[in-house]
Amino acid sequence: MNNFEFKNPTKIIFGKDTIKQLETEIPKNAKVLLLYGGGSIKKNGIYDQVKKALANIELVEFGGIPANPEYATLMEALKVVKEENITYLLAVGGGSVIDGTKFLSAAAVFDGETPWDILTKNIRTEKGMPFGTVLTLPATGSEMNSGAVITRRETKEKLAMGGPGLFPQFSILDPQVIASIPKRQLANGIADAFTHVLEQYMTYPVGAMLQDRFAESILQTLIKVAPKVLKDPTNYKAAANFMWSCTMALNGLIQKGVPTDWAVHAMGHELTALFGIDHARTLAIIAPSHYKYNFDTKKAKLARYADRVWKIKKGSKDDKAYDAIEKTVDFFHKLGIDTKLSNYTDDYEGTAEEIAKRFTDRGWLGLGEHQNLSPDKVKEIVKMSY
Ligand code: NZQ
Ligand code: ZN
């Protein structure tokens, strides 16, 4: 096992009817900016619950943060933060609203010229404006980590940011919010969380027995609850297990002491930036080709995954490893998620070259757990995903 440090300061408040606890989590003297997305919270009752809990707190609102939170929209929100002398941010939404709020938390204290530099120059936020979240869509784990991904339509870019100052102070996870999520977003959430685990597991063995078993148990839980959640999102038991799995998949715990990959996400983000494909679907497009292309260096873990997660007991190590990739593709298909770029766009020719060029320009010359996935290899993997 590799050396590691682990600190996660986010307080999780999990369970039925917990949104009302907002009242005691936000400092009484705070001036709060309530941030939300396209309006789903106004239809499903979450907005009313939040407003009721915050009846005695000074509140300003900013709605309309789109999926794949858009820089231009967030800059409008930043104006509100400054003009209204906001002291506390509250995200009520999925990964997009939470990530947008993290950007604002960083931008509010940023003393440079253009906040976009936070993303392009990898400026880590040591201390941001304090914020909390009410999670409405289990998927990204953003509710308990310190990372964010921001999109800029103008330049067709989607870049990551983070830092120890960007953990939410608290996150409220009431699994009942799942009842109103459309099937497509539920499937996305399952696929995203599943791939988060794979990015931190499908590397090479370092004797980290507990981390491996944590990872496998999250994958097994997601496989088990996926059909139940899709069939009936009001099934509380399934919803609760789904929600907690998504948080545990990316709160930092399972990646401690082990190598991590994250190349699937790096390539996937480009497909969202170029074609607007949902984040989770880009991962389902890239992951199978990535594992096939890097078969030799990943096959020890692939074979273990075959055995532990998919219960494939027969065949050689290579056979098992290969079968596990096929099982993963089948899992995505069962969620209703297509796994080829050509299923999403006819305009895919040249995509591999474009992504390889972008990575070269950014100096991303060696991705993955061995830091040897060069833009040339990225090009091959993206081509295999057409
Ligand atoms: O905008 P509204 O109207 O609220 O509708 C949203 C949105 O259209 C809807 N929704 C959310 N909760 C709902 C609901 N509809 C009905 N009932 C509810 N309870 O779902 C749609 C998608 O929401 P979004 O927040 O975009 O989804 P998700 O949570 O999947 O977030 C995706 C974003 O997170 C980033 C992705 O790149 C993408 O930009 N990620 C963030 C990560 C992180 N911070 O750690 C890691 C991930 O790998 C990922 O990159
Ligand atoms: Zn993801």
How far, in Å, is the centroid of ligand 2 from the Cα of 139?
A: 8
Instruction: Provide the 8-state DSSP code for 153.
Output: G
pLDDT of amino acid 209: 98
How far, in Å, is the centroid of ligand 1 from the Cα of 246?
A: 12
Residues of the chain with CATH 3.40.50.1970: 11-176
Atom 45 of ligand 1: nearest residue by CA position? 142
According to DSSP, the residues that pair with 34 across neighbouring strands are: 61, 90
Q: Using alpha carbons, select from 328, 326, 320, 327 the residue that is nearest to residue 299.
A: 320
- Find out whether the beta carbon of 181 lies less than 6 Å from any atom of ligand 1: yes
Atom 19 of ligand 1: nearest residue by CA position? 136
Count CB-CB contacts under 10 A for residue 204: 13
- The complex's ipTM? 0.99
Instruction: Provide the 8-state DSSP code for 164.
Output: G
pLDDT of amino acid 80: 98
Q: What ligand has the least distance to the C-alpha of 68?
A: 1
pLDDT of amino acid 354: 98
Q: What is the pTM of this model?
A: 0.97
Check: CB of residue 267 under 8 Å from CB of residue 351: no
How far, in Å, is the centroid of ligand 1 from the Cα of 63?
A: 14
* H or E element at residue 162: strand 157-162
Six token digits for residue 360? 């070269």
Give CATH superfamily name and number for 182-384: Dehydroquinate synthase-like - alpha domain (1.20.1090.10)
pLDDT of amino acid 158: 92
Check: CB of residue 323 under 8 Å from CB of residue 305: no
pLDDT of amino acid 120: 94
- Find out whether the beta carbon of 176 lies less than 6 Å from any atom of ligand 1: no
d(C-alpha 92, C-alpha 63), whole Å = 10
Atom 38 of ligand 1: nearest residue by CA position? 68
How far, in Å, is the centroid of ligand 1 from the Cα of 374?
A: 30
- Find out whether the beta carbon of 247 lies less than 6 Å from any atom of ligand 1: no
pLDDT of amino acid 165: 98
Six token digits for residue 212? 């491996």
Q: Using alpha carbons, select from 172, 169, 18 the residue that is nearest to residue 93.
A: 172
Check: CB of residue 38 under 8 Å from CB of residue 242: no
Residues of the chain with CATH 1.20.1090.10: 182-384
Q: Determine the longest span between alpha carbons in the chain, in angstroms.
A: 65
How far, in Å, is the centroid of ligand 2 from the Cα of 193?
A: 7
Check: CB of residue 275 under 8 Å from CB of residue 385: no
Number of separate helices (H) and strands (E) present in the chain = 15, 8
Six token digits for residue 314? 């027969």
For residue 158, give the ligand 1 atom closest to its CA: 37
**What kind of fold does domain 11-176 have according to CATH?**
Rossmann fold (3.40.50)
On the CB side of 82, how many CA atoms lie within 13 Å of its CA?
Answer: 13
d(C-alpha 59, C-alpha 61), whole Å = 7
Helix pair 375-384, 351-362: axis angle to 10 deg: 150
Sheet of 58-62, strands arranged across: 11-14, 170-173, 131-135, 88-93, 31-36, 58-62
Q: What ligand has the least distance to the C-alpha of 273?
A: 1
How far, in Å, is the centroid of ligand 2 from the Cα of 269?
A: 9
Determine phi and psi for 13, rounding to 5 degrees: -115, 105
pLDDT of amino acid 216: 98
Continuous H helices in the chain? 22-25, 40-43, 46-53, 71-83, 95-107, 117-120, 183-201, 209-231, 236-249, 263-275, 279-293, 295-308, 317-334, 351-362, 375-384
Q: What is the pLDDT of residues 191-203, one digit of tens each?
A: 999 999 999 999 9
Q: Work out the end-to-end distance of the chain between its first and last CA atoms, rounded to an integer number of angstroms.
A: 37
| Residues with pLDDT less than 50, the chain | none
pLDDT of amino acid 69: 97
d(C-alpha 226, C-alpha 183), whole Å = 11
Which of 102, 279, 282, 337 has most ligand 1 atoms within 8 Å of CB, for mutation?
279
How far, in Å, is the centroid of ligand 2 from the Cα of 279?
A: 7
Which of 96, 134, 271, 286 has most ligand 1 atoms within 8 Å of CB, for mutation?
96
Q: What ligand has the least distance to the C-alpha of 148?
A: 1
Q: What is the pLDDT of residues 22-59, one digit of tens each?
A: 999 999 999 999 999 999 999 999 999 999 999 999 99
